[in-house]
Every structure is written in C-alpha cells, then in structure tokens.
Amino acid sequence: MVFLLCELLNPLFNFIPGCAIINSIYGQTSEYARKNGGHSMKLVQLLERLEYTCLQGTTEQEITKVEADSRKAGEGSLFICIRGAVADGHTFVPAVVAQGTKAIVSEEPLKVPEDVTVILVKDTRYAMAVIAAAYYGYPGDELKVIGITGTKGKTTTTYMVKSILENAGYKVGLIGTIETIIGDTVIPSANTTPESLLVQKYFRQMLDAGCDCAVMEVSSQGLMLHRTAGFTFEIGIFTNIEPDHIGPNEHTSFEHYLECKKMLLRQCKIGIVNRDDEHFEQMVEGHTCKLETYGFSQEADLRAVDARLVTGKGTLGIAYQLEGLLHFPVEIDLPGKFSIYNSLTAIAICRHFQVSEENICKALKVAKVKGRIEMVKVSDEFTLMIDYAHNAMSLESLLTTLKEYRPHRLVCLFGCGGNRSRDRRFEMGEVSGRLADLTIITSDNPRNEEPQEIIDDIKVGISKTKGNYVEIIDRKEAIAYAIHHGEPGDIVVLAGKGHEDYQEIKGKKYPMDERILIQEILEEDKKNG
C-alpha cells in the first residue's frame, strides 16, 4: 500500500520542490528487471527493494546505466555518491549534472536543478548494492552463491569447492583474490571482493554462461562496505579469525574486524563455521542462518580424525578419516594442518550439493591453487613449490608446516618488495634464517628501489640467526641455482610471488611467471645435456 500510495502521489508532489516522499518498498521482483538484467529501466524499478526518500524529481525516468564513477556518469545514468577513503562522490555532483545526469542517489540533500531527481538514502554503498542487483535482474536470486570469509584459507578453499563441484557436473563461477572465472573467461582481480556493481555484473555473466552456482571470497572490507548486499548467500563460510587488517583505512580494532566478518552469517541461509577457532562463540553470536560446524573437535558436525603426513615422489600431502555427518577416508596432495581445515570446509559445502564420496575424493586429489603451496614437479628426488608467503607471519607459518615433514634440507628462496616497510625485510630474513637450512636471497618487485639495497636489508635479518644463505639478484638465476643444487629429500620453496606473473621495476611491469621460468630452466638443461 505504501508503494502504491507513493507512486500515485509522486506526480502531484513533483510540482512542489523539495517535498519528501518516504518509500519503503519490499515488493515482488520486477519482471522487467529480471528479464532485462541491465538494460534501460525505470528508476522506480531500481529502487524497488530499497528504503529511500525522493527529495525532488520523478522516479519514472528511464535509466540506462548505473555509475559511482563521476567520469563515466552522463545522460541516462544514475549517479551514486560514494564516500571513499580518498574522495567523496558528493563533491562531484555539479560535474555529473553538467555531464547530463538527471538522477542522483545521495546521503545528504543536494542543491541541483529541479529537473534532477535526488534520492536520499541512509547508506549509499548499501543502496548501490541493492540497485546493482535490480539493474542486472537479481542474478543472485537464481545462482546458488557460496561466500567464504576468514583470515586464512579463503583462496584455497574457493578453488577446492570449484574443483569438487565441477567434478560432480556443476558449472561454477568464481570471484576471488587472484582472478574471476566465468566459463572460459579469466579476469585478473583488483580486490578480493569487487564493488557491488561489478559483483552483480559478474553474477549476470555467470548466469548467461550457464553457471549453476558461484563461489566467492568475501573480505571483511567487502562486508563492511556492503559489496555483498542485495542478495542472500546459499552458504556462508567462516574459516577462522586472527588479528589482521587493523590500521588506517581498514579496521579500527580486532573487535571491529570480527564484527564485519560476522555479517556474513546474517546474509546466508546456511552458515558453516570452524568449531576449533578460539573465537568460535564470538564468531557465531547473532547469526540468523542454519549453523553447521567442522574441525577436529568432538563437538564439530564434520570432523577429521587420525590425521597423518603423506610423502611421495616430489610431493607432500596429508590424510585423515572423516567422521560425523559423513564417513570416509580423505587424502590430499597439499601439506599441513591448514590443508585439512580447507578440505573440511570444501567437503561441508559440497555435502549440500549431494556430491558423492567418490567425486569429492577424486577432486580433492587434483585440487591446485595457483601460488598457494603449488607443487611443481622438477624431480623425483626433491619437492619444489611456489607460495605467495610475502610477509614474516605467512612465511613462518609455511616453513613451520614444511619442517613437520622432516626434509633433508628446507631451502627458502625469496625477495622483498621495494617501496614498502623495511621492517618486513628484516623480519622475513630473520624467519628464513631461523627456520630454513639454506636461504636464497633474490629480487621480488624492487619497484623504484635498487634490488641490492633490498637484499642488504634482508641480510640484516638473517645475520641475527645462524642460517646459511646465498644471494643471487636475478630471480631466474636464483631459481636455477635452487633446482641445480637440490638434494634428495629437500623441500624447496619459492616464496613471495605466488600467483603473480610479473616483476615491477621502475614503475613498469615486466612478464615473469615462475612456472615459465622453471620450464625454461628445465628445457635449457635438457638442451645443454
């Protein structure tokens, strides 16, 4: 009734400048919006799931595009004023009006010509997510969307889930830290969780490509900034939480970080949470979803027992018995206790898609994540892997995990990025010197710094330990050294670059993929006999 009354009165009140009409619209999805999914549509259709106030103008005008970037706004566009860390979209209103924009969503009253519609909302970021969903025809209502949040494990788990579901015959889209995958299209990622306009665009493209479901990494920033508002996740995952991302332009405290993460459990139908996390009770406080748990704890709904390390020719893995909601043995070619947690998460999700035991086990065996403990076969005698560990905390976690396999030697190759805190170099040098039997110091992304100066800083950290090291500035030469000097039983880690396929020097990015470098080295060795 409220919706109908507002629409009846709008034409009348449009003659009275500044008159406010409060709209609380939670009606049925517009068939027009659903069918058109991002074509020309009336403003009122874009606002149909949003609470708003129309300060002036008409909601009957046609909108051809939705923009939060003032440079792209113009005739036919709806401009949404977003307050960012660097700029406030409200300050660009005169510019977008001059460019022909006739509809604006704002958090404050605006002084604009009478023929410009002004929509007042409490939070423009939330409004943008809801409007984006409408603009693309509510694709999140049709896709089964799986959201994964947590301090660690998001990336690996998303790829595991994708692998299992695809092995079972589902067509799966992916949005994550490394890339977005839609059918055969791969798009490099700028953010772990893109802005809502892009999220909804990707969902629409996934549906158009025939996807049944989507799995996405959900960052605390993404939740805080409402990038995932406007739809309900089929399944929400909370892997773990540790103090991280606390500081300027991120989170003010651990408590705030946790509160943002928890939002996912109020935006999903089924929530699956790590029962072993020390903050478990806080993590699930206030949840509105059906709750399930996983872990080693006897209280977990899905649990791992009798875990053991597995080694093969040039490979490392882990095995365990699955108990609780499902019962079968699991073996994966990824090392460490955290790999058990990642696999439990993936299994817990796929259980809701009725994936068979056979398909789960088969997919877990072949699941690989680019740059995340990614093993590259170069020899049956020793193991070589690529990992994104690029700070002291992640490097220590990785090397500690690998030492559990009791290698003949643990060899760590890494560099540090230029134009970043020097403390990171000292800390990583000290960690590698303490835990690795041999450190190979090389170049990473020197940016505008001299590679040798960065290496010298790393050596300061190593000097605090008794660790052995060599320094080789050229990364390809350093990798060749690691391969040529590998000894039986060694574990060799190429740390820092991970999924990155470039090297940044003096403001320019040069192609450099460690997998290609390894292949080149092996081919050159073969050629040279």
Mean pLDDT for 39-65 is: 96
**Residues ≥6 apart with Cβ < 8 Å to 98:** none
Copy the structure tokens of residue 363. Answer: 């997919």
> What's the mean per-residue pLDDT of the chain?
90
pLDDT value of residue 382: 97
Mean pLDDT for 333-337 is: 91
Confidence of residue 2 (pLDDT cuts 50, 70, 90): very low
Confidence of residue 84 (pLDDT cuts 50, 70, 90): confident
Give pLDDT tens digits for 338-348.
899 999 999 99
pLDDT value of residue 5: 35
Backbone angles phi, psi at 101, to 5 degrees: -70, 135
What domains appear along the chain, each with residue ranges and CATH number? 2-135 (3.40.1390.10), 139-366 (3.40.1190.10), 374-527 (3.90.190.20)
Among the ranges given (31-40, 212-221, 278-287), the one the predictor scored with the smallest mean pLDDT? 31-40
Copy the structure tokens of residue 400. Answer: 């500690």
pLDDT value of residue 33: 44
477, pLDDT greater than 80: yes
Q: How many C-beta neighbours within 10 Å does residue 392 have? A: 19
Give pLDDT tens digits for 274-323.
999 999 999 999 999 999 999 999 999 999 999 999 998 888 999 999 99
> Which stretches does DSSP call E strand in 64-124?
65-67, 77-80, 103-106, 117-120
pLDDT value of residue 16: 33
Q: Specify burial of residue 311 (Cβ count, 10 A radius: 0-12, 13-18, 19+).
A: middle
Q: Where are the alpha helices (DSSP H) in 263-373?
A: 280-284, 337-351, 357-366
Q: What is the DSSP letter of 48?
A: T
26, pLDDT greater than 80: no
The identity of residue 254, as a single letter, is F
The C-alpha atoms of residue 431 and residue 425 are separated, in whole angstroms, by 10
Q: What is the DSSP letter of 83?
A: B
Task: Output the furthest CA–CA distance in the chain (Å, rounded).
Answer: 87
Question: CA-based angle 464:468:469, to the nearest 5?
Answer: 100
Query: Residue 378's closest CA among 521, 498, 502?
Result: 521
**Strand pairing report for 374-375 and 468-471:** unpaired
Give pLDDT tens digits for 376-427.
999 999 999 999 999 898 899 999 999 999 999 999 999 999 998 899 999 9
Mean pLDDT for 247-253 is: 67
pLDDT value of residue 192: 87
> Which stretches does DSSP call E strand in 87-198?
103-106, 117-120, 144-149, 172-175, 179-182, 185-188
32, pLDDT greater than 60: no
Confidence of residue 30 (pLDDT cuts 50, 70, 90): very low
Copy the structure tokens of residue 144. Answer: 């089964």
The C-alpha atoms of residue 421 and residue 244 are separated, in whole angstroms, by 17
Among the ranges given (13-22, 32-41, 106-115, 509-518), the one the predictor scored with the smallest mean pLDDT? 13-22
Provide the total of helices (H) and of strands (E) in the chain, helices listed first.
17, 27
The C-alpha atoms of residue 188 and residue 227 are separated, in whole angstroms, by 18
The C-alpha atoms of residue 373 and residue 388 are separated, in whole angstroms, by 8
Long-range contacts of 302-306 (CB under 8 A, 24+ apart): 302/326, 302/344, 302/347, 302/348, 302/351, 303/344, 304/330, 304/340, 304/344
Which value, in Å, is the radius of gyration of the alpha carbons in the chain?
26
pLDDT value of residue 282: 94
Question: CA-based angle 374:366:291, to the nearest 5?
Answer: 95
pLDDT value of residue 246: 55
Give pLDDT tens digits for 441-459.
999 999 999 999 999 999 9
Copy the structure tokens of residue 526. Answer: 């073969």
Query: Residue 258's closest CA among 227, 275, 283?
Result: 283
Query: Which is more confident, 315 or 73?
Result: 73
